[in-house]
């Protein structure tokens, strides 16, 4: 499954492999999106094949759903699952209090719904995702396509009163067209550089008409599994 891996892929793989061990027979498990989460799905697929592990997965994107099915994992919707025992997902940034920026892959809405509907959320990441203060990674905000420029203007205005260093916002593109999420929405990336008060920002963003959800995951993550390029793994609770 792994062959010769670059240090960054090795770090993602070892974190994913360790977290895959948290999944037990009978569990309903949220499956994240992104390159690290894809390693998790591969590791779980291997456990299904080799050990006969039986669990049901709720994917957070069409990409993850497709990969999970290809690897023989039973896929169900969140509606069918009702509630989840565990969600395992990647992240773009993780601070000292396990608050996150997510949505680099554009799946933040389903990811947040699934993580919040879980008894436990575990994040898997390479060590470079750990930061002292969130914000160097552009913060993704999912917005309705209707009136998106007006939403963007309101959002930029609202940022003025907040403890952030940068205020530029950009519409995420896919070639010449706006990037479209699985829910048919657009993404605005907020280039804030440093987010002084993530909780306040998250609340403010979701009050703007047109904003569907933001990529700040505050008090949602319970545990982080950090992988290193040399194969070491660290757990943080």
Task: Specify the pairing of strand 139-143 against strand 186-191.
Answer: antiparallel
Q: Closer CB to ligand 5RP, residue 34 or residue 59? A: 34
Ligand-binding annotation for 129, yes or no, is yes
What minimum distance in Å lies between the beta carbon of 189 and ligand 5RP? 12
Strand order across the beta sheet in which 186-191 lies: 168-171, 186-191, 139-143, 211-214
The secondary structure of 92-153 as a DSSP string is SEE-TTS-EE--TTS-HHHHHHHHHTBS-EEEEEEGGGB-SSS-SSPEEEEE-STTHHHHHH
Q: Was 104 annotated as part of a binding site?
A: yes
| 34 assigned binding-site residue | yes
Q: Give the nearest distance from C-beta 193 to ligand 5RP in angstroms.
A: 18
Nearer to ligand 5RP, 158 or 171 (CB): 171
CA torsion sign, 214 to 220 to 225 to 226?
positive
Name residue 122's beta-bridge partners: 88, 223
Check the annotation: does 237 bind a ligand: no
Residue 89 annotated as lining a ligand binding site: yes
Point out which residues bind ligand 5RP (CB under 6 A). 32-37, 89-92, 102-108, 111
List, in order, residues 6 or more apart from 104 with CB less than 8 Å away: 34, 92, 137, 140
> CB-based burial of residue 73 (10 Å sphere; 0-12 exposed, 13-18 middle, 19+ buried)?
buried
Q: What minimum distance in Å lies between the beta carbon of 102 and ligand 5RP?
A: 4
Residue 111 CB, shortest distance to ligand 5RP, in Å, is: 6
Q: Which residue lies nearer to ligand 5RP by CB, 45 or 103? A: 103
Please report where in the chains the tokens 């592990």 appear, as a residue: 53
Residue 59 or 90 having the CB closest to ligand 5RP: 90
Using DSSP's 3-state secondary structure scheme, residue 76 falls into: coil
Active-site amino acid positions: 111
**Residue positions in the annotated binding site?**
33-36, 89-92, 102-105, 129
**Residue positions in the annotated binding site for substrate?**
33-36, 89-92, 102-105, 129
């Amino acid at each position: 499954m792994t062959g010769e891996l670059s240090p960054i892929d090795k770090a993602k793989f070892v974190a994913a492999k360790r977290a895959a061990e948290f999944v037990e027979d009978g569990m309903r498990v949220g499956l994240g999106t992104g390159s690290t989460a894809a390693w998790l799905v591969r590791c779980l697929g291997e456990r299904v094949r080799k050990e006969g592990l039986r669990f049901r997965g709720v994917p957070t994107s069409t990409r993850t759903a497709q990969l999970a099915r290809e690897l023989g994992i039973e896929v169900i919707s969140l509606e069918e699952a009702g509630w989840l025992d565990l969600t395992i997902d990647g992240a773009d940034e993780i601070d000292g209090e396990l608050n996150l920026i997510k949505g680099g892959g554009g799946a933040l809405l389903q990811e947040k719904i699934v993580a919040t509907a879980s008894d436990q959320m575990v994040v898997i990441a390479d060590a470079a995702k750990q930061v002292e203060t969130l914000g160097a990674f552009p913060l993704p905000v999912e917005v309705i396509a209707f009136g998106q420029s007006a939403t963007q203007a309101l959002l930029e205005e609202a940022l003025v009163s907040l403890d952030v260093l940068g205020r530029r916002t950009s519409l995420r593109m896919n070639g010449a067209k706006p990037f479209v999420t699985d829910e048919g929405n657009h993404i605005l990336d907020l280039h804030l550089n440093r987010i002084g008060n993530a909780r306040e920002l998250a609340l403010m963003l979701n009050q703007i008409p047109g904003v569907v959800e933001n990529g700040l995951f505050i008090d949602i993550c319970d545990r982080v599994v950090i992988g290193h390029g040399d194969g070491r793994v660290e757990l943080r609770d």
